[in-house]
Amino acid sequence: MEPSGRVLDQSGCTILHVDMDAFFVAVELRHRPELHGKAVIVGFPEGRSVVLSASYEARAFGVRSAMPMATAMRMAPAAVVIEPRHDQYRKVSAGLMALFNSITDKVEPLSVDEAFLDVSGAIRRLGAPLEIGALVRRRVEAELGITASVGIAASKFVAKIASTRCKPNGMMLIEKDRTVEYLHTLPVQALWGVGAKTLEVLQRLGIFTVADVAATPVTVLTKTLGASGRALHELSWGIDPRPVTVVRVEKSIGAEETFAVDTFDDEVLTRELLRLSHRVAGRLREAQLAGRTLALKIKYSDFSTISRSKSMAAGMDSAGQIYAGAVGLLRALGARPQSVRLIGVRIEALESIDSAPLQFTLDRRDDNGRSAEVVGDAIAAKFGAAKIVPARLLRSTSKHVEPDAGGPSGNG
C-alpha cells in the first residue's frame, strides 16, 4: 500500500531483485555488534588498497566501494577499518543462494550478495509478490543475521531500480501499468549502460532525464551511441523482455593481487602465483569443481592489461597443477616491457568433480601434492585460520590490497 492509502496493483510484477545492504560490512557486524551505527569500512588499511564495502554511516562522509582506502580515510578518519574475510562472505553467500532457491527454482545470481528471482510459480504457494518479498527479507535477517532490500516489478531492469531506490533495508514495488510514469521521473544515469562517458555525451545533447531519452528519436541516439542508443531508448519506455536465467554453477573461480609496489622481480611474481594458486585450488575443491582452462592476468604499471590462457585435456583442482601452468604462461610472455602492478590466476570451463576426470601426469608427486592439499583443507576446516602452506609463502610480505577476484561482489 502506498502512503496515500491506495492499494498497489501487483499483477504482472513477478520479478524480484534482492540485494544485501553493505554485504561485507553486514557480515562483519554479526561478530562485532558494538559497531552498529558507526562508520565501518571493509578493506586493507595500507598500500594501494581499495574500499570493498562501507557502512551507510561511512557513506554519509562520501566513502564508496572501490574508492582508494587513502581517500576514504581522509573522508572518514574516525571510521573503523576491518580487514576482509572472504571465506566468511562465501559461506554467507552460499546460505543466501540456498534461501533463494527454497523460495523459487528460478534464481539468477548476479554476485555474491544479489540475485533476480522469478516468483511467478511461487505465488499460489507463498502469496502475492509483496508477501514473498517480505518473507525473503524476514528470512534473510532471521537466518543470516543481515538485511536485504527488495525491488519488485514486471522486468529485471525495473526491479533493479526499485531495490536501489529503497535501500537500505526496504522494499519497493513498481506497478506494471505505472512503470513508464515512474521511470520518467528519474535522472538519465538510472538507465543501465549510462556511465560517466555516456552521461557526458547525452548531456551535450541536452538529455538529462529518462523522459528526455524517451522523447529523443531513436535515429539520433543510434547515430551518437551506436546500437546502445536503441537499447537505452527501449529501457526508457520500460521495455526489457529478458527472462530470469537460472544459473547453477560458477563459470570461473579466480584470485588476483595488486602489489604495494610495482615489480619486475620474478621471485616476487612467482611467489604470488603460488599463493594465488593455493587460494584458487582451495575454492575449487570446496565447491567440488575442477576446471579445464587456466588463465593468467597481468596488469602493468600504466594499467594496460594482458591475459593468456591454456586448455587441458582434463580438469584441474590442485595448486601444484595451477601453479605450474601459471608460471609457464608467465615465462612464455618473455621480457616484461614495464613493471607489474597486478597478477591474477583464474580457472575456467568448470565442471563437477564427479563428472570431470582430474588431470595428472605419470609423476606420483602430482597425486601426493594434491593429497597434501586435501589434508590442508581438512585442517583449515577444523581450525579456521590455521592451515598448511608451502614454506616459501612464509617468507612473503605481500599484502592483499584489491578485492578478492573469486567473483563479483555487490555492496549496496
Binding annotation for Mg(2+): 19, 113
Give binding residues as ranges.
Answer: 19, 113
Q: Is 319 exposed, middle or buried (0-12, 13-18, 19+ CB in 10 A)?
A: buried
Residue 267 annotated in active site: no
CA distance 215 to 223: 15
- Angle at which helix 129-139 crosses helix 86-103, to 10 degrees, equals 150
**Separation of first and last alpha carbons in the chain:** 25
Kind plus residue range of the DSSP H or E element containing 89: helix 86-103
Contact criterion met (CB below 8 Å) for 122 and 103: yes
**Identity of residue 140:** V
Q: Give just the sign of the alpha carbon dihedral 161, 165, 170, 175.
A: negative
CA distances to 96, 326, 391 from 401, rounded to whole Å, are 26, 21, 22
Identify which of 353, 345, 403 has the alpha carbon closest to the alpha carbon of residue 374: 353
Question: How many residues appear in the chain?
Answer: 412
Catalytic residue among 28, 108, 114, 175: 114
Residues known to be catalytic: 114
